[in-house]
């Protein structure tokens, strides 16, 4: 028969383990949003930073920004209006992207993005982008989306980016979560 001290100790250990399990489950649920916030704040893993308001301080150096577009699981065409753009570091750049929905119904999509090389992502800042929210494109509709961005002047002082002359901004459109999967239209 267990003594009162042994029973108390077992309850304390069981309670401690229950708290530990709850904490681990909570961390598991919080890890994805925390990781996304960390990537957005630091540019880690090629995630471009987002700014509510731009502070432009141009310096006397230019970069080539190359635009890459992809579509996964949507009957859309998605292209940049120009393949590259030359931008002065610290000064606003503007790019346009065209999207056409080839289906016979409206579809909602979401654009994921990244910047490469990865070291440049921390300095590539977007102030306006279609990728900040889901986009619904009507049947047969073609839409042009602007992206306003700049490269932080700290880019020129970072030893991992000083020799870079080109940055690639890549977008991939996917079906938005909670949207019905696209169906093929007649003739597709």
CATH number of the domain residue 150 falls in: 2.60.370.10
Are residues 34 and 56 both part of a single domain? Answer: no
The answer to whether the bond into 117 is cis (omega within 30° of 0) is: yes
Are residues 61 and 114 both part of a single domain? Answer: yes
Residue 5 lies in a domain: yes
Residue 96 lies in a domain: yes
CA 72 to each of CA 32, 75, 174: distance values in angstroms, whole numbers, following the listed order: 22, 9, 5
Residue 183 lies in a domain: no
Domain closes at, from 42, 57, 74: 42
Residue 73 lies in a domain: yes
Give 121's contacts (C-beta < 8 A, 6+ positions apart): 43, 44, 45, 46, 47, 48, 49, 114, 115
Q: What would the DSSP string read from start to end of 88-149?
A: ETTS-EEEEEEEEE-SSS-EEEEEEEEEESHHHHTTEEEEE-GGGS-EEE-TT-EEEEEEEE
Are residues 10 and 64 both part of a single domain? Answer: no
Q: In this structure, are residues 107 and 27 in contact, taking their beta carbons and an 8 Å threshold? A: no
Count of residues making up the chain: 188
Q: In this structure, are residues 132 and 50 in contact, taking their beta carbons and an 8 Å threshold? A: yes
Measure the CA–CA gap between 82 and 80, rounded to whole angstroms: 5
Residue 38 lies in a domain: yes
Are residues 129 and 62 both part of a single domain? Answer: yes
Measure the CA–CA gap between 92 and 162, rounded to whole angstroms: 20
Task: Domain of residue 2: give its range.
Answer: 1-42
Residue 181 lies in a domain: no
Q: What is the pTM of this model?
A: 0.68
Going by the DSSP 8-state scheme, the letter that residue 75 receives in this structure is S
Q: How many domains does the chain have?
A: 2
Going by the DSSP 8-state scheme, the letter that residue 184 receives in this structure is P
Are residues 33 and 53 both part of a single domain? Answer: no
Are residues 78 and 30 both part of a single domain? Answer: no
How do the pLDDT tens digits run along the chain, 188 residues long? 666 677 888 888 888 888 878 777 777 766 656 655 565 555 554 455 555 555 667 788 999 999 999 999 999 999 999 999 999 999 999 999 999 999 999 999 999 999 999 999 999 999 999 999 999 999 999 999 999 999 999 999 999 998 999 999 999 999 998 755 555 444 44
- Among 73, 23, 28, 62, which Cα is nearest to 173's? 73
Are residues 63 and 152 both part of a single domain? Answer: yes
CA 177 to each of CA 134, 151, 173, 174: distance values in angstroms, whole numbers, following the listed order: 9, 31, 12, 9
Are residues 18 and 88 both part of a single domain? Answer: no
């Amino acid at each position: 028969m267990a003594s009162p001290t042994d029973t108390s100790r077992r309850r304390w250990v069981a309670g401690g383990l229950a708290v530990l399990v709850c904490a681990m489950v909570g961390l598991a649920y919080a890890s994805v949003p925390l990781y996304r916030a960390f990537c957005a704040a630091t540019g880690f893993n090629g995630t471009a930073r987002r700014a509510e308001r731009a502070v432009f301080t141009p310096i006397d150096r230019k970069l080539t920004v190359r635009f890459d577009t992809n579509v996964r699981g949507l009957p859309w065409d998605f292209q940049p209006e120009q393949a590259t753009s030359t931008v002065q570091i610290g000064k606003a750049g503007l790019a346009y992207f065209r999207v056409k929905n080839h289906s016979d119904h409206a579809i909602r999509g979401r654009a994921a993005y990244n910047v490469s090389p990865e070291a440049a992502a921390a300095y590539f800042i977007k102030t306006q982008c279609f990728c900040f929210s889901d986009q619904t494109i009507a049947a047969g509709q073609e839409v042009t989306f602007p992206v306003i961005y700049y490269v932080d002047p700290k880019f020129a002082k970072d030893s991992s980016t000083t020799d870079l002359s080109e940055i690639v901004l890549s977008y991939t459109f996917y079906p938005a979560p909670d949207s019905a999967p696209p169906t093929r239209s007649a003739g597709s």
